[in-house]
Amino acid sequence: MTDMRVSGQDYKAGCPPVDGEMLEDHGAAPEDGDDQVDPWSVSSSSAKGVDYDKLIVRFGSSKIDQELVDRIARVTGKTPHRFLRRGVFFSHRDMHQILDAFEKQKSFYLYTGRGPSSEAMHVGHLIPFIFTKWLQDVFDVPLVIQMTDDEKYLWKDLSLDECHRYAVENARDIIACGFDVNKTFIFSDLDYMGASPAFYRNVVKVQKHVTFNQVKGIFGFTDSDCIGKISFPAIQAAPSFSSSFPQIFGERTDVQCLIPCAIDQDPYFRMTRDVAPRIGYPKPALLHSTFFPALQGAQTKMSASEANSSIFLTDSAKQIKNKINKHAFSGGKDTVEEHRKCGGNPDMDVSFMYLSFFLEDDDQLEKIRQDYSSGALLTGELKKCLIETLQPMIAAHQERRRLVTDEIVQQFMSPRKLHFNC
Ligand code: TRP
């Protein structure tokens, strides 16, 4: 949706918005040649993908540096997830605060979400959920997952029934990632907004404290966007506050929230963090991930609407093999002779990038990087390695999904008490 670019103009440093309010975590205005990153589109002109260090500066977030990764290891007593070791989650807001409190036995909760725009989920969609599952395990905290079927109805040409059905079908894939039913609440906005007065009250509070001018600045809305879109950010903000879930947190309005998400969702939470203190709530902390590249190259992210750019969670072993062999952009040389002589470029190679997301063994990954760079490993061999990593992973996902019955989905999606030790 190209008319949805983040203009950011109102929040340019030294240039306060017209109504005089300034976001504390503001992003600077994008300049010519900058990568485009907003909730509706992501693109870069570089085959290596988005320049994430620049994005941290532009968005005003903080880098997840080695010190923070070591601290997470110390506090949890667990080896950091490969997504932390390899910089897949690369940026944060207030993670040290979460850890400070956790060390003093003060708990928190996790919030993430998914916009269910189709039945087809791809491997890139799993990244935040795989990581959130790890966070839930190592910190032993409750988790809420928002399925924004309302958002997809407002933005896409889909009926309410279709969006709601996709929310439930996608929830099945999310459950298949292994979440603990005693600690996880998955909700469809279309269902929960009407069923929970506490949730709706928080939506209204946020709506009262954000002006049209502000959402225009943050999201690039225009006068011709429907009012549903304009007020939607308040609905994505509300789960960041523990009082939206009295069945989980009782009377507590002060349980802090940690949101793992892809960095394109940050505009929603810059807004949320700006509003939070003004309505008496703690600001949510954030962990941001990079994007999962399209098969054709890291200039764009994997997209379910482009079948050839994606490996779907429903693909067969054969389809996975064919797609990778046919479409995965290679950083190798044109001929074997040249490749042997000069070596390939792993930083532009989509198969290598995917392996860095999914291959668990650090030493094996490093050896692949070296052998590919030296020319000892050919593109076909690298692709074979990726195929052999993804095939069993996706087959295992399909098997776990098969076991997620309607009753199990129902259980996850019913508002209820969760295990929570504050
Ligand atoms: N807007 C997100 C999407 O389209 C869905 C979402 C809602 C979300 N709440 C979230 C994602 C919190 C990450 C964290 O996919």
CA distances from 283 to 8, 9, 29 (A): 21, 24, 23
Give the model's pLDDT for residue 23.
Answer: 55
Tens digits of residue pLDDT in 390-406: 999 999 999 999 999 99
141 CB near ligand 1 (under 6 Å):
no
Q: Whose CA is nearest to atom 3 of ligand 1?
A: 115
Give the model's pLDDT for residue 420.
Answer: 86
146 CB near ligand 1 (under 6 Å):
yes
pLDDT reading at 14 higher than 50: no
Measured in Å, residue 48 CA sits from the centre of ligand 1 at 25
Sign of CA dihedral 343, 345, 346, 349: negative
Q: How sure is the predictor about 421, in pLDDT bands with cuts at 50, 70 and 90?
A: confident
CA 113, CA 63: separation in Å to the nearest integer? 22
pLDDT reading at 62 higher than 90: yes
125 CB near ligand 1 (under 6 Å):
no
Tell which one of 1, 111, 114 to mutate to probe ligand 1, the residue whose CB is within 8 A of the most ligand atoms.
114
- Global pTM value: 0.93
261 CB near ligand 1 (under 6 Å):
yes
How many other C-beta atoms can be found within 10 angstroms of the C-beta atom of residue 225? 18
Q: What 3-state DSSP class applies to 74?
A: helix
Tens digits of residue pLDDT in 73-118: 999 999 999 999 999 999 999 999 999 999 999 999 999 999 999 9
Measured in Å, residue 22 CA sits from the centre of ligand 1 at 24
272 CB near ligand 1 (under 6 Å):
no
Q: Whose CA is nearest to atom 6 of ligand 1?
A: 113
Q: Tokens representing 217?
A: 């600045």
Percent of the chain that is helix, strand, coil (3-state, to 5): 50, 10, 35
- Range of lowest pLDDT (8-12, 161-165, 306-310, 376-380): 8-12
Measured in Å, residue 408 CA sits from the centre of ligand 1 at 22
Measured in Å, residue 259 CA sits from the centre of ligand 1 at 10
114 CB near ligand 1 (under 6 Å):
yes
Mean pLDDT for the stretch of residues 278-285: 98
Tens digits of residue pLDDT in 26-45: 566 677 778 899 998 899 99
CA 192, CA 412: separation in Å to the nearest integer? 13
Give the model's pLDDT for residue 422.
Answer: 67
Of 136, 132, 39, 58, which is closest to residue 88 (Cα–Cα)? Answer: 132
Q: Tokens representing 267?
A: 């505009």
Q: Whose CA is nearest to atom 10 of ligand 1?
A: 113
151 CB near ligand 1 (under 6 Å):
yes
Measured in Å, residue 97 CA sits from the centre of ligand 1 at 23
CA distances from 380 to 310, 343, 344, 353, 383 (A): 19, 13, 12, 15, 5
Tell which one of 268, 273, 288 to mutate to probe ligand 1, the residue whose CB is within 8 A of the most ligand atoms.
268
Measured in Å, residue 205 CA sits from the centre of ligand 1 at 20
Give the model's pLDDT for residue 77.
Answer: 97
H-helix or E-strand spanning residue 186: strand 184-188
Mean pLDDT for the stretch of residues 353-382: 98
pLDDT reading at 386 higher than 90: yes
Task: Identify any residues that bridge with 185 across adjacent strands, giving them in sequence order.
Answer: 144
315 CB near ligand 1 (under 6 Å):
no
Look at 214 and 7; give whichever has higher pLDDT. Answer: 214
Residue with tokens 């997209």: 303
Instruction: Sort 253 into a burial class: Cβ within 10 Å, 0-12 / 13-18 / 19+.
Output: middle
CA 353, CA 333: separation in Å to the nearest integer? 17
CA 419, CA 422: separation in Å to the nearest integer? 10
pLDDT reading at 24 higher than 70: no
Tell me the average pLDDT of the chain.
93
Bridge pairing between strands 108-114 and 143-147: parallel
Of 208, 205, 225, which is closest to residue 216 (Cα–Cα)? Answer: 225
The contacts of residue 32 (CB under 8 Å, 6+ apart) are: none
